[in-house]
Every structure is written in C-alpha cells, then in structure tokens.
C-alpha cells in the first residue's frame, strides 16, 4: 500500500509504503506525482520523503526500479528538479534504495538514502510537519 501526505502547499510529499507492496503500486505512485504536479497540487522543485513501515511482503525487482526511473526521468521532466529522501534500514530496502539512487544519478532527480526521519528532513532542509507521526 502506498499512502501520501502533502505538506507546505505542495512543497513536500511524505510517502509511506506498507503491507504487501507490488511494483505496480510504486509505478502508479510515480504517475500520481506527475499528474499531481500537472494540476498544481504539487509544486515544481518539491521534496519527497519515502519510507517503509510494517511491510508484509515486497515484490519489487531491479527491472521494476529501472521502469520507475524511466517514467520519472522521461514523463516526469515537466516537474523539473526535485529531491527524494528514502529512509531505508533493512538490508533489502537499502539495496533497492541505493540501486534507485544509482539509476537517477545522471538525471534531474536528487536522491539520498537516510537512516531516520531526522536525517531525512535535515537533508531535505525542511521542518518535520508532524513530529509525533514521523519519528
């Protein structure tokens, strides 16, 4: 399941991935980000924080991340440069996050893999919008 909250008038999207995660959900999320930008719900140059919580199963392959990268870098070009902080601690999550980071290295996407909400919000340079929720 992919859930999102939009903060700071569309400048920050916090995305929670939980439960049974399938690659199509993440692909749909990227299309949601593109569409939300196109209608003005998310602003150009926005920041995204992505984290996993209570994962039951994850069916994501490296090919899926390559597809997500293609969509983000080609179809999502109109969004301009934006940053994503990914909180990853589990070895599998770290592997996928670092692989995604390596794929977007030559694009207008800036990705950082972080260990905590504090580190992620600090890297994004924004205040935690809900400190009790994101700790």
What is the structure's pLDDT at 59? 80
Do the domain assignments include residue 118?
yes
- For residue 130, what are the contacts with CB-CB under 8 A and spacing of at least 6? 5
User: pTM for the whole thing?
Assistant: 0.87
Do the domain assignments include residue 18?
yes
Q: Count the residues in the chain.
A: 135
Q: Which domain holds residue 45?
A: 2-124
What is the structure's pLDDT at 108? 67
CA distances to 7, 15, 81, 92 from 71, rounded to whole Å, are: 24, 18, 14, 23
Q: What is the CATH number of the domain that holds 62?
A: 3.30.750.24
Do the domain assignments include residue 130?
no
In this structure, the strands spanning 82-87 and 109-114 are parallel
Do the domain assignments include residue 101?
yes
Into how many domains does the chain fold?
1
Q: Which two tokens stand for residue 77?
A: 């070009």
What is the structure's pLDDT at 129? 97
Do the domain assignments include residue 132?
no
Do the domain assignments include residue 55?
yes
Range 49-55 average pLDDT: 88
pLDDT digits (tens, 9 = 90+) for 62-116: 888 888 878 877 765 555 677 899 998 888 777 778 777 787 777 767 889 999 9
Do the domain assignments include residue 63?
yes
Do the domain assignments include residue 133?
no
Nearest Cα to 52, choosing from 1, 103, 8?
Answer: 1
């Amino acid at each position: 399941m992919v859930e999102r909250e939009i903060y700071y008038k569309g400048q920050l999207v916090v995305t929670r991935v939980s439960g049974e995660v399938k690659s199509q959900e993440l692909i749909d999320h990227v299309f949601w980000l593109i569409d939300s930008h196109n209608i003005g719900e998310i602003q150009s140059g926005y920041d995204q924080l992505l984290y996993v919580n209570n994962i039951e199963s994850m069916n994501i392959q490296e090919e899926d991340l390559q597809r997500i990268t293609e969509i983000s870098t080609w179809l999502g070009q109109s969004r301009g440069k934006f940053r994503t902080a990914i909180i990853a601690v589990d070895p599998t999550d770290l592997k996928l996050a670092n692989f995604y980071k390596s794929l977007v290295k030559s694009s207008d996407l800036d990705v950082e893999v972080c260990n905590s909400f504090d580190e992620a919000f600090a890297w994004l340079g924004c205040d935690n919008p809900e400190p009790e929720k994101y700790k």
